Amino acid sequence: MHVMVLGAGVTGVTTAWFLHKAGFEVSIVDRQPEAGLETSFANGGQISVSHPEPWANPSAPLLALRWLGREDAPLLFRPRARMAQWRWALSFLHECLPWRSRRNTRAIASLAIYSASHLRALRAETGITYDQLQRGILHLFFSAAEFRHAPVRAVELNHLGIAARACTADECFAVEPALQRLAGRLAGGIYAQDDESGDAFRFTQALAGHLRSVGVRFHYGTTIERLDRSGEQISGIEVRDSAGRTGTLSAEAYVLCLGSFSPAIVAPLGQRLPIYPVKGYSVTAPIVETALAPQVSLTDESRRIVCSRLGDRLRIAGTAELNGFDANVRPERGRAILDWVNDRLPGAIDPAQAQLWAGLRPATPGNIPLIGKGWGKNLWYNTGHGTLGWTLSCGSAAALTELMQGRRPAPDFPFRPGA
């Protein structure tokens, strides 16, 4: 069966890989000239199985109120006159209810564990490299009040099947010596030793190159304008190339992997997908002092910022802005990230060569991606991966492939009904 994957971000390219491995004939369509050039381009780099708790949790509404109007806030809501934004924000509040948040955390953890094992297998099978490090993630707490909850949180992670342990500040320095200069300020941490990090863009590009070499067709520079339907089936996709020429591409089945742009494409079919862009920023800079740059990936729980070593570069990412489809880079948001590096890892990078980037996380209110049957007989979804698209990419793609073959995937996850 010929399957057309719509979108060549990390989700689309991994979907193509697992479908190809299962024996499907696969082609991919993307408006960009290469794979991974939108949200998968410069994310935080974490394969963060140890962070299954969604932003929508019982403490989020109070924190959001406290941060209201602060330009350097980790979470920023810029109200727009868009129904979709308000609808999303209301659903987000609903997902903050304790039982919803617990249910979402369990589902994400189950999919993330499955995903990490598929990533390891993919790496072994293809031999692709992407500045990956298997050194774990250290979650850092800078106040005694926050650190007090760390032992309980580590045990909760253990109950979800995730290896994690609470560490004193000295134990954190033993795990990552580059943090020594935080002595007297760091309260402690949680170390998740099985977590990984790596450059999602390099991964996506390397996997796309591998797929091309095994016969998967790529239609780059091809914008999808609309889906054509015939009865209860998608009969083709109407596209426009970079020279403005229009045409139709067709296959027997289609998988929607268009990130934040997924809802607009299926709206004419009467589908209302609960995905809204949540903008984030990253800074990537060359390392100037190797001993000062951590090898273990970091999550600063007090500032909601993550940091990953990518070869001879450091990637620092964070902030969440509910601001529509505006992907413009605001220098003040980049400065807030650089201030963080200056404060937590002084002297590690050359800030003059820092590259600032912004991307739109395709977020559902509870951070639960839409995986499974989409519309009609032959449209499938693998989209809406929010804060964890890199972490969940291999597992989501493997699970979707199972569903398309009529099998039930292993994770305890709310896959889309009808599959």
Per-residue binder mask for ligand FAD (CB under 6 A), 205-244, x = binder: ------------------xx--------------------
In the region spanning residues 272 to 331, those forming contacts with ligand FAD, defined by CB under 6 A, are 280-282, 306, 317
Helix, strand, coil percent values for the chain (each to nearest 5): 35, 25, 35
Closest CA to 6 of 36, 33, 27: 27
Query: How many other C-beta atoms lie within 10 A of the C-beta of residue 124?
Result: 8
How near is the Cβ of 362 to ligand FAD at its closest, in Å? 5
Considering the rule CB under 6 A, would residue 356 count as an interface residue with ligand FAD?
Answer: no
Q: Which of 5, 18, 26, 43 binds ligand FAD (CB under 6 A)?
A: 43
How near is the Cβ of 170 to ligand FAD at its closest, in Å? 27
Instruction: Please state, in angstroms and rounded to a whole number, the distance separating the CA atoms of residues 36 and 418.
Output: 30
Of 9 and 411, CB closest to ligand FAD: 9
From residue 189, give the alpha-carbon distance in Å to each of 106, 108, 163, 292. Answer: 22, 22, 14, 19
Of 169 and 354, CB closest to ligand FAD: 354
Considering the rule CB under 6 A, would residue 12 count as an interface residue with ligand FAD?
Answer: yes
Classify burial at 59, counting beta carbons within 10 Å of its beta carbon; exposed 0-12, middle 13-18, buried 19 or more.
Answer: exposed
DSSP 3-state assignment of 8?
coil
DSSP structure string for 325-387: B--PPPHHHHHHHHHHHHHHSTTSB-GGG-EEEEEEEEE-TTS--EEEE-STTTEEEEE--GG
Closest CA to 130 of 61, 40, 220, 56: 40
Considering the rule CB under 6 A, would residue 15 count as an interface residue with ligand FAD?
Answer: no
How near is the Cβ of 391 to ligand FAD at its closest, in Å? 3
Considering the rule CB under 6 A, would residue 411 count as an interface residue with ligand FAD?
Answer: no
Q: Which of 3, 39, 336, 337 binds ligand FAD (CB under 6 A)?
A: 39
Q: Which of 17, 18, 28, 40 binds ligand FAD (CB under 6 A)?
A: 40
Q: Which of 188, 359, 395, 409 binds ligand FAD (CB under 6 A)?
A: 359
**Options 2-10, 336-344, 370-378, 407-415: segment touching ligand FAD (CB under 6 A):** 2-10
Of 30 and 402, CB closest to ligand FAD: 30
Considering the rule CB under 6 A, would residue 132 count as an interface residue with ligand FAD?
Answer: no
In the block, which residue shows the tokens 């139709």? 248
Say if residues 97 and 375 touch (Cβ distance below 8 Å). Answer: no
Contacting positions for ligand FAD (CB under 6 A)? 7-12, 29-32, 37-40, 43-46, 48, 223-224, 257-259, 261, 280-282, 306, 317, 359, 361-362, 383, 385-391
